[in-house]
Amino acid sequence: MSARQPAATRPQRIAPLASLPVFFKLGGRRVILAGATDGALWKAELLAAAGADLHVFAEEFPEGFAALAADPPAGAITLHARGWLPADLADAVIAIADLEEPHEAEAFVAAARAAGAAFNVIDKPDFCAFQFGAIVNRSPLVIGISTDGAAPVFGQAIRQKIEALLPAGLKAWAEAARDWRPHVQARALAYAARRLFWENFTRRALSSPEAPPTDADRNALLASLEGIEERAKTGRISLVGAGPGDPDLLTVKAIRTLQAADIILHDDLVSPEVLELARREAKRMLVGKKGHGPSCKQSDINDLMVRLAREGRHVVRLKSGDPAIFGRATEELDAARRAGISVTIVPGITAAQGAAASLETSLTERKRARRLQFLTGHGMDGRLPADIAWEAIADETATTVLYMPRKTLGEFRERALAAGLSPEIPAVAVMNATRANERHLAGTLAGLPEDLARWPNDGPVLVMIGHTFGRLGESALPLQAAGSGGMR
């Protein structure tokens, strides 16, 4: 097997944006609003809430405007009982109008451009340099949602979903973050230490979001700064399970760890969709560990992982499936511990679990499959391991899962049958488990190696053997004949 060196990779380029989401700082700044419709009233309230020095121009004002101007949520509102003039837009940062006639909208846009103001004509996308989105308000935590004017009702529905997910108490935690930040900045911490502090803050906030932060929370977090500086110097390592490929199968803890990473060392088999959930600023390095293909030496991966952590980085070693199942986790754990570096494991959904779920099949049953055994299909030399307990493989009350067995499945079958396993025991091969291009081949152990050999080698394969898979031939899955099995 040829070797290769760890190589830096880049995240996928961001997909095209219909518009750029930005947040205007409007405190004390001049904003112009032309019109006094119901739509304009809501925009006036929104702009005032952002602290704008808002000037509203209209021939007449309904009662709602007078009440809002008398008691704005923030900022100041001045009502001008006349139509707008181009000179009114001087020094304005934003100019908004609710105008019916196209020629009026054109004139307003021309005046805004001349004044250097961003402009928006309500409900007329062709006359807008920016748009308002639906808002989730936990200020200073604010979320904006836009459909680029295509479906405002859809945007509102998304807002309602987010409102239900975000406890109202997060507002208090966001305010606490703003109020406590000067105390953290005063310590002049290195970047890694600051990030670690705010990770601790976030963890505490999300663990009890409905309970407002207390002085005890503040004191405990600020007291933790003493230890954080030392921890940040030595860095840390997280071994994270990426699951078999479907990003929806990532655990919440795995996503949180990916979002906190400084550097991600990932295998070939980690799907691009999973990597897209990582913090975009994190550096990524491919340290390919791919069965029967060119691979980085494990010793090189260990050395790189330790060296980067010693630089004060949070290193995430991202592995397909579960890091503790055929993931060489022991060697990486030992390397981290020898170096005195903090290391944690974040488990993942292993390929066998993902494949069984895709096939809507249980790995165990009380009567026919009372034991589950995982087995690697090849050892360090690439051949079938020599120390397999064949009497255990021949136990037909067990479900056996073979990882990476493509080149050794024929030999495995012969040895298993010689040990007493029935050639008619159901078996299924699954390629690219849980991914969009997943395929499976169902049949019996007798014919599966030859059927699998006809498959193109374009993804990871595992083979599952046991009576629980006998139902696949009877199910409504779209199976097609392929030798003695079926292929989806």
Report the pLDDT value the prediction gives residue 111, as an integer from 0 to 100.
Answer: 97
Report the pLDDT value the prediction gives residue 477, as an integer from 0 to 100.
Answer: 36
Give the three-class secondary structure for 335.
helix
Q: What is the mean pLDDT of residues 279-304?
A: 83
For residue range 372-411, list pLDDT tens digits in order.
999 999 888 889 999 999 999 999 999 999 999 999 999 9
Q: What is the CATH number of the domain that holds 437?
A: 3.30.950.10
Residue 12 in domain: no
User: Are 221 and 325 members of one domain?
Assistant: no
Residue 156 in domain: no
Using the predicted structure, report yes or no on whether residue 339 has a pLDDT greater than 50. Answer: yes
Q: What is the mean pLDDT of residues 288-304?
A: 78
- Give the catalytic positions in this structure: 267, 289
- Going by pLDDT thresholds of 50, 70 and 90, the confidence category of residue 290 is low
Residue 70 in domain: yes
User: Are 358 and 398 members of one domain?
Assistant: yes
277 touches 250 (CB < 8 A): yes
Q: What is the CATH number of the domain that holds 293?
A: 3.40.1010.10
Report the pLDDT value the prediction gives residue 35, as an integer from 0 to 100.
Answer: 95
Using the predicted structure, report yes or no on whether residue 486 has a pLDDT greater than 50. Answer: no
Range among 7-16, 88-97, 182-191, 375-384 with highest mean pLDDT value: 88-97
Quote the pTM value: 0.74
Residue 382 or residue 320, greater confidence? 320
- Tell me how far apart the alpha carbons of residues 182 and 448 are, in angstroms, rounded to a whole number: 65
Report the pLDDT value the prediction gives residue 294, as an integer from 0 to 100.
Answer: 67
Q: What is the mean pLDDT of residues 145-159?
A: 87
- Going by pLDDT thresholds of 50, 70 and 90, the confidence category of residue 415 is very high
Structure tokens, 335 = 């390397």
Residue 357 in domain: yes
Give the three-class secondary structure for 138.
strand
Q: What is the mean pLDDT of residues 302-331?
A: 94
Residue 481 in domain: yes
Using the predicted structure, report yes or no on whether residue 484 has a pLDDT greater than 70. Answer: no
User: Are 369 and 321 members of one domain?
Assistant: no
- Going by pLDDT thresholds of 50, 70 and 90, the confidence category of residue 199 is confident
Report the pLDDT value the prediction gives residue 482, as an integer from 0 to 100.
Answer: 33
User: Are 480 and 356 members of one domain?
Assistant: yes
Report the pLDDT value the prediction gives residue 292, as an integer from 0 to 100.
Answer: 53
- Tell me how far apart the alpha carbons of residues 64 and 42 are, in angstroms, rounded to a whole number: 10
Structural domain for 199, as ranges:
170-232
Question: How many structural domains is the chain composed of?
Answer: 4
Name, in order, each residue with C-beta under 8 angstroms of 220's C-beta and a sequence gap of 6 or more.
none
Using the predicted structure, report yes or no on whether residue 83 has a pLDDT greater than 50. Answer: yes
Structure tokens, 262 = 């400084």
User: Are 52 and 104 members of one domain?
Assistant: yes
User: Are 59 and 36 members of one domain?
Assistant: yes
Strands in 309-460 per DSSP E: 314-319, 342-346, 371-376, 398-403, 426-431, 439-444
Residue 143 in domain: no
Lowest mean pLDDT among 45-54, 222-231, 376-385: 222-231
- Going by pLDDT thresholds of 50, 70 and 90, the confidence category of residue 192 is confident
Lowest mean pLDDT among 9-18, 241-250, 422-431: 9-18
